[in-house]
Amino acid sequence: MTSPSWTADAVEALFELPFNDLLFRAQQVHRQHFDANAIQRSSLLSIKTGGCSEDCGYCSQSARRDEETGIERGKLLELDEVKVAAKAAKEAGASRFCMGAAWRGPKEGDLDKVIEMVRVVKDLGMEACLTLGLLGPGQAQKLAAAGLDYYNHNLDTGAEFYDQVVTTHSQAARMDTLISVRSAGMKICCGGIVGMGESRRVRASLLSQLASLNPAPESVPINHLVAIPGTPMENAPPLDPFEFVRTIAAARISMPTSWVRLSAGRQEMSDELQALCFLAGANSIFYGEKLLTTGNAEATRDQALFDRLGLKAV
């Protein structure tokens, strides 16, 4: 499942290019494979919030820090609730509906309920994406049979930094789930988070790992850490905005046919920073006012920005 094309050294060399040269190269690559003025819009719904057994340092939903973050443990949403949310997302212009559950991995009974949610989304004519954690034997095949388009499972960060972010499972376990998803015939949504205190080398390593998957993920969310109070990373030093744009550009160049998505942290980004990210090759966003437990840019603000930049939704 790996290809040696993009080493960490090669990706780091992209980061070190003069900013204008890097963006020029990224825009050239982008235009070879995509409409430069088209942005895919996805909507994200938390179908089960809080109470997760894992200790991911960036996340507010860990059961280990309920009191610190104030996140209440919720039950799996009812099917009708999901249908209402999916219809609203479609009416607002989203073409893909993503559902996330705070689990280490789904139990069989819960998986059966989630499969019904997938079918509801598909019946609405939307692409369906899930993020449920680590998948057990046969679960990827069940999701594929239900018509799931994408399974999201991020690598989070470079392998050498991973144990500073998560200790309750390994990055290798995440890779096993990705292999299962790909083997079942589904598309992969896989990216990471930047701004967690990692070095540029770690960011390059993450992109190298993603680009070296064979094939590369069809969708690559690049998340900017939202420093949530009560999490171990609440005081992480802010990432230079130009470094974030460089990350987007390096992702575009190293994964030329992937959808590169501006994900978490977009609410805090200025219109100018988002415009630079689109110029660097980002061509997907999360659309809607909430991402699991954190805020997101308002839909009206997004539409106004699209109008100002002459962008169209796909």
CATH number for position 96: 3.20.20.70
Q: What is the identity of the amino acid at 283?
A: N
Q: Is residue 141 part of a domain?
A: yes
| Whole-angstrom distance, CA of residue 28 vs CA of residue 35 | 11
Q: Is residue 127 one of the residues assigned to a domain?
A: yes
**Is 277 known to be catalytic?**
no
What pLDDT does residue 66 have? Answer: 67
Instruction: Name the helix (H) or strand (E) containing 285.
Output: strand 284-286
Cβ contact 42:99 at 8 Å: no
Whole domain around residue 82: which residue ranges? Answer: 8-306
Confidence of residue 2 (pLDDT cuts 50, 70, 90): very low
Classify residue 311: in a domain, yes or no.
Answer: no
| CB-count exposure of residue 16 (10 Å: 0-12, 13-18, 19+) | exposed
57: in domain: yes
Per-residue CA distances from 217 to 155, 181, 255 (Å): 11, 11, 8
* Top-confidence range, 71-80, 165-174, 261-270, 274-283: 274-283
Give residue 291's pLDDT: 47
Give the pLDDT confidence score for residue 3 in this predicted structure: 44
Classify residue 258 by its DSSP letter: S
| Catalytic member of 41, 98, 203, 246 | 98
Averaged pLDDT score across all residues of the chain: 91
Q: Tens of pLDDT along 90-139?
A: 988 888 999 999 898 999 999 999 999 999 999 999 999 999 999 999 99
Q: 3-class DSSP state for residue 19?
A: helix
Per the confidence metrics, is the pTM higher than 0.75? yes
- For residue 255, pLDDT over 70 is answered with yes
Residue 262 is predicted with a pLDDT of 94
Q: For residue 81, tell me if it sits in a domain.
A: yes
Q: Please choose, from the candidates 115, 54, 103, the residue with its C-alpha nearest in 3D space to the C-alpha of residue 75.
A: 103
What integer is the mean pLDDT of 166-177? 93
Contact yes or no for 299/307 (Cβ under 8 A): no
The predicted pLDDT at position 149 comes to 96
Active-site hit among 96, 174, 189, 203: 189
Query: Is residue 163 classed as helix, strand or coil in its secondary structure?
Result: helix
The single residue of 41, 59, 65, 174 carrying the catalytic annotation is: 59
The per-residue pLDDT for 4 is 44
296 with 290: CB under 8 angstroms? yes
Q: Identity (one letter) of the amino acid at 173?
A: A
Q: Is residue 313 part of a domain?
A: no
* Statement: residue 216 has pLDDT above 90: yes
Least Cα distance to 205 among 152, 257, 156 occurs for: 156
Give the type of residue at 90.
K
The catalytic position among 96, 129, 203, 266 is 129
The CA distance from 181 to 15, in Å, is: 31
End-to-end CA separation in angstroms for the chain: 30
pLDDT, residue 177, reads 96
What percentage of residues in the chain have a pLDDT greater than 90?
74
156 pLDDT higher than 50: yes
Indicate the number of domains in the chain. 1
Asked if residue 244 has pLDDT above 80, the reply is: yes
Q: Tell me the mean pLDDT in the region 286-291.
A: 63
The total of other beta-carbon atoms located within 10 Å of residue 239's CB is 18
Task: Name the nearest CA neighbour of 29 among 248, 254, 213.
Answer: 254
> How far is the CA of 164 from the CAs of 56, 195, 201, in angstroms?
9, 13, 15
Catalytic residue among 25, 56, 174, 182: 56
For position 62, what pLDDT does the model report? 80
Q: Which is catalytic among the residues 25, 41, 246, 261?
A: 261
pLDDT for 70 beyond 70? no
Could you tell me if residue 104 is inside a domain? yes
Which candidate in 41, 52, 246, 266 is catalytic?
Answer: 52
Q: Is 190 a catalytic residue?
A: no
Query: Is 44 strand, coil or helix?
Result: strand
3-state class (DSSP) for residue 38 = strand
What does the pLDDT look like over 229-243, one tens digit per residue?
889 899 999 999 999
Let me know if residue 312 belongs to a domain.
no
- Is 59 part of the annotated catalytic residue set? yes
67 pLDDT higher than 70 = no
Tokens of 77: 């949403």
Query: What is the per-residue pLDDT for 277?
Result: 97
Residue pair 122/97 in contact by the 8 Å Cβ criterion: no
Structure tokens at 282: 């980002």
* Predicted local confidence at residue 69, as pLDDT: 67
Active site residue 252: no
Alpha helix ranges (H) inside 128-194: 139-145, 171-183
